[in-house]
A and B are shown apart, each in its own frame.
Chain A
């Protein structure tokens, strides 16, 4: 094992992970999971901004039902394709696992780092390379196939930037796979004494289930884009009818990954919500084992339902019925979680911090998103709703209203831990409110648009839809304002925020037992494991202006079985 610095790492060093070694090289070659998490976070948030600008371009065009001079049909196609591809591959899939997860997982687990720190850094650089390929593809002519790359358009026609972006997606897939490998091994092998599976926080269960999906599904995406590149370059004839191929086969291969992928997006978010709800209502999570097992169940079921994206594509009636039936069952584990969170809130001592606002928003928005999946799962209604704005609204409710909201909530929840600063709560709530109101304005109207028949990915539309588009676009600007405000006060807190105590919210899991920010190797003594949702030993300390955990009492309570 080689390191840049020859000092033994486990000697006591002053300061924290941010001050441990200085200089840009110490960040570029870092093996510290916390620094890698921070780098991912910056990268993901920058990509989110770019993808968001694309979305605003699309929404602005949609203020006008007809053609406009400042955006052609092709440019519109490229804008929504870019929005989708950036958001799916560069933002949502890596965001919680790679950005927040990398930072929090080892500390929450009680380990010094992930199992393979060099692989972790390599994952980050793979992300960077994938992003570079995506940027290059813009220069090479852009791509306008939609983020789903359906054949035969993507194999026969489309533009010069298609192959580079497919190569980028392939590389990003490996970034995701290696993160998954790292997390699985870390959770299996690096747990400290006393941290059994059922003492592990639910965020880690969620990350584990996500890692399972990343490992099993992402290679199929790799092969699919590789086959598409070969098909496009050499016209081999497996997906393209011109050479006797089958375009529905492409869709089978694509969705075999992409459906589990949406669970890669949502599962970690659900894990965060479990943490936020429990900590900010100072109440033991209700139904720990149910929530834990439901994460694993969701991971497994997600592989059985991919055909529900293909009901109108030419898939056989037999498979349509089969996939529709199994899709209904996928809703069950998710519903189990929602009911458990509600039960946790009930009679809790709720602190309405910004993180909790995001947590409550999640529950509301996820319920709508999940319920609107049902009309899409039912074959007869899906015939009408497929490829309309109804689908767009549904997936934005679950991907953005749920996964992204959870990510931002988690960012606020762990911001003091990561940066050592407290942000301004008032502005936090203003930002959350703007995002919530803007989001609903943008996407609720799209349910109405879709059920009245407005197709998705269309540049022009009938004039009677215009009022809905106006409301939707207005909402998107409000939402954008909310995100900008969030960015401003968070950045401001880095310079002028109050110094954060180790435990600002009163959590009982291990990450709250080290300083904010954490020291370089996380713990100077081996952490002692109690019940991470037992808040009985957590009390407010006036001097620190934060909570403290009485570790002896906490561990004793767990061992005596008190507080289940």
Chain B
């Protein structure tokens, strides 16, 4: 095989600090050259693999001979990607002996031309040097979808658009290739395929709806992209934010304190608090909403424990607007006080 030296990029770098028991390094090479001082490439598989199937495995093997009159030590320093593994078949190479470096790339669904590299080091008693070998390829991808999952936070009651994107590398997108749209989040059943004004090879699958009451929700977006036979599934995790926020976030009674003031303020335009509801009416907790001050947007919630606490537990205070919508949730924890001896 013709030596594909032109494909073999070499960079020689300063050596990292050596362990104390390593031979002293008296000279560090800092220059570029077409082959390493210690190793000469004598055989190599092609660097360029062209278009390859996603999920396939590429293997590139390079064979070197030790040109020095002494033993050299070889090791792989790094690879550019977790998809790439590399190893030498031996770690010690005698004079005029051969050593093989094998690089293995598991092809991921990343569009466009890809290059993975392996950095390795050759060292001997007075110096060391670094080499690089590359594997080039282009995954065969009809299209890609993104993101792989949607995590959104949005105010309760607001209108929200959930977007998923389909990208056809090098191809103008056509709407009819996407069909059977569905979304299992409540209130987000209506989907549409939209184009991007200045992105001719991208389409967006959009679902719009109103954000449900405060809490955490999950669902899935599904759609079919021809000619694939399986639908695309994109999990959706939606955190619906309360329209008001509380500082502190809740009330804790674990000592002599009997009253806790919680400051409430709107986090977004919304109605005023007008009522409160205790989820566990048996809890030894009472709460009062102090009268509104027209000059301030902030409201105060007074939370009190009733009597001496003899049990532990928790409850939640719901702060509501006049229509009964939840504006903010206030958790309350209470701990039994130590008994007198």
Q: Do A and B come from one complex?
A: no
Name A residues whose Cβ lies closer than 8 Å to a Cβ of B.
none
